Amino acid sequence: MSKITIRNIKAILTAPAGINLIVVKVETSEPGLYGLGCATFAYREKLVASMVEDYLDPLLKGRDVSNIEDLWQLMNNNSYWRNGPVTNNAISGVDMALWDIKGKLANMPLYDLLGGKSREGVAVYRHADGRDLDTITENVQKFMDQNIRHIRIQWGGYGGDAKALNKPAGAPDGVYYCPDQYIRNTIKLFEHVRGKLGDQIELLHDVHERIPPIDTIRLAKALEPYRLFFLEDVLSPEQGDWLKILRQQSCTPIAIGELYNNPKEWDYLIYNRLIDFIRVHISQIGGITPARKLAIFCEQFGIRTAWHGPGDVSPVGHAANVHLDLVSHNFGIQEWAGISETLHEVFPGSPILKDGYVYANDKPGLGIDINEELAAKYPCQTRVTQWTQTRLPDGTLYTP
């Protein structure tokens, strides 16, 4: 077969579920052969689209689609400054699409191309939230009735549901919360849910880096009696050095990584065994190529994967997560925000959830497609992001 080259790269912006998604389509010199990849950075979608079409497309036109590693390094190095979320998501979209193409050329699903399955289905965790303890417990029970056995519980969302805050005069608008209230309520939450539902369910919780490091240690120690499957994103990337102190103080399992862009943010955590689960956002670190390397690196140190899987990952990105989950021996759990009926229509071939497990199909590549005509009916909306404007009771901005 003659060499197959990249003919065109474009970004497809769509929001079928009301969340901005970015999908990259790499078209080749072989008629009808193309690949799809996820480049979703929901809050800066226009920048990623520009990076893909104005910079990566002219850089890669005419190059051999088979040389994925070389093309990844080329994309990463070409802008000179690297490891940023806009650049990495754009690279991811192309990288995933190239793996999709390679699977189609080999007539193999990606999981086969990467070595074959380590398991048939991928265990997931779902999110149970609520404004009061009984509602949360009922929502957990609903998932248990669907054979979901790993459930993340939150009381009032990230940072909790703050009551009676005494804000200073003239305090700016924002999403206010009280770290101390949040900590006390989270301990009550786990005491209540464990008391009602027992030990036959794996419980998780997301701190979302909203409390100071010393309070993180206090919370992790206080939650030990409730045997968490893991405590998620306890610290911001800037506070990673505190994980060594946390490890010395608490045996609560730790999962971290959704904000990471740069290998130097995670390598020392892994080889020093300061975390238990790596949960990066695959498109945020540059796609399947670096994620596969990261999973293998983690395996050497007994650390499991728990890739980020929220609503601001496209079904293409969810498919990439699932294929890596199927292959990785050190798979731990997969976050699953769910794929709506509308998303399934726009993205035929999306992974399917059944009885607590997500399944990929056996089509070549990622096994997923996009209905571009239907996707165009759900345009993205560029707005000022509100939920990340988080503030302490005195009005100080804090990490979201």
Q: Which residues pair with 22 in a beta bridge?
A: 13
Report the C-alpha gap between 10 and 115 in whole angstroms: 30
- Nearest in space to 176 (alpha carbons), one of 186, 155, 162, 166: 162
Q: Which residues are catalytic?
A: 158, 208
Consecutive H or E run containing 132 = none
H-state helical runs in 250-381: 267-271, 282-285, 288-299, 315-327, 341-346, 372-375
Tokens of 171: 């305090």
If residue 101 lies in a helix (H) or strand (E), which one and from where to where? Answer: helix 85-106
Element (H, E) at 53: none
Pull the structure tokens for residue 8: 């065109």
Sequence-distant (6+) residues with CB within 8 A of 155 are 129, 130, 131, 133, 136, 161, 185, 186, 188, 189
Region class of 115: left (phi > 0), else alpha (psi between -120 and 50), else beta = left
Rounded distance between C-alpha atoms, residue 389 and residue 391, angstroms: 7
Helices 288-299, 315-327: inter-axial angle, 10-degree rounding = 30
